[in-house]
Amino acid sequence: MLNPVFSTNHMRLMTPMFYRIAHSLRDLIDNEVENRPKEVDLLDWMARTALEVVGQGGLGYSFDALDQNTPNEFRIAIKSLVPNFFALAPFRTTIHHLASLGPAKFRRRVVDFLPIPPLRRLKAITEVLESQSKGIIQAKKVALVQGEDAVVRQVGEGKDVMMRENVSARAEDRLPEEEILGQMRQSFSGLVVAGTDTTSNALSQILYLLAHHQDVQERTRQELVATIDGRDIPYDQLVDLPYLDAICRETLRLYPPVTNITRT
């Protein structure tokens, strides 16, 4: 049910949505630097943009409309997750013992009394992720019951493949709601959390390197300007641009967002 999200056809369908988000970002930064030089925190903007791209593209849900600078609870939770994991490294043995104590409800109460601030912060982060996943599932269920028009009206035109596939599946193949919720949790940790951090870091690094290599920036701009012709570049044409492709690949080679994988 999740595999179609990662297909080339799905990417083609998503391209107009990516452009809409990119145009919004461009306009916001334009307004921020209008009439005067100003330092812009691009890492923060890339984090917001990546979260919106992954949310709309993978779940058909908008986490951050990019139109205001108010703190976003979900975005803060995502960016705090990995640093909290590192902060918990010295307490790994304690946490493993805790994981085997009684039911989850009891373990969550125990966390409140342990003098380990990163663990309490991690509990708060998971509560934010849990409430968001439940809210998204409920909104999608209501829209799917109302019919196709209601799904299309949602952000991202209902590009939440798993729920759509589940509703249309045969009764014996359909996943129960708890299984869907579990898959949504996995989507949040694997797709949203990991996808947001890696994408925002890679985009920030590309922009940083282009700023420091003006000749490369100019050549990239020339390739894009020659291709745009007054319109957004279609997906198949975009992925065939050789110099832009080289910029992305070389940046990822030199500065990979993920530097190691724990197999077990």
CATH number for the domain harbouring residue 198: 1.10.630.10
| Alpha helices (H) in 161-241, listed in sequence order | 161-168, 177-186, 194-212, 214-228, 235-238
Nearest to 78 by CA among 128, 134, 18: 128
Own/partner pairs, 18-23, CB within 8 angstroms, 24+ separation: 18/53, 18/57, 19/232, 21/49, 21/52, 21/53, 21/56, 21/66, 22/49
Provide the token pair at 189: 């940790």
Residue 211 and residue 217 in contact, taking contact as beta carbons nearer than 8 Å: yes
Whether 41 maps to a domain, the answer reads yes
pTM comes to 0.76
The range of the structural domain enclosing residue 139 comes to 3-81+129-254
Whether 169 maps to a domain, the answer reads yes
Whether 221 maps to a domain, the answer reads yes
Instruction: Evaluate if residue 23 carries a pLDDT over 80.
Output: yes
Mention every residue, 6+ apart, whose C-beta is less than 8 A from residue 21: 49, 52, 53, 56, 66
Residue 44 and residue 201 in contact, taking contact as beta carbons nearer than 8 Å: no
Q: d(Cα 226, Cα 139) in Å, to the nearest integer?
A: 43
Neighbour tally for 193: CB within 10 Å: 20
Tens digit of each residue's pLDDT (9 = 90 or more) over 74-129: 778 877 888 888 888 888 888 888 888 888 888 888 888 888 888 889 889 888 88
State the total domains in the chain. 1
Neighbour tally for 120: CB within 10 Å: 15
Q: d(Cα 114, Cα 97) in Å, to the nearest integer?
A: 13
Whether 225 maps to a domain, the answer reads yes
pLDDT of residue 31: 87
* pLDDT tier, 163 (very low <50, low <70, confident <90, very high otherwise): low
pLDDT of residue 58: 73
| Alpha helices (H) in 114-193, listed in sequence order | 117-146, 148-153, 161-168, 177-186
Nearest to 223 by CA among 198, 240, 211: 240
Percent of the chain topping pLDDT 70: 81
Tens digit of each residue's pLDDT (9 = 90 or more) over 221-244: 999 999 988 889 999 999 999 999
Provide the token pair at 123: 């509990």
Whether 76 maps to a domain, the answer reads yes
Three-class DSSP category at 233: coil
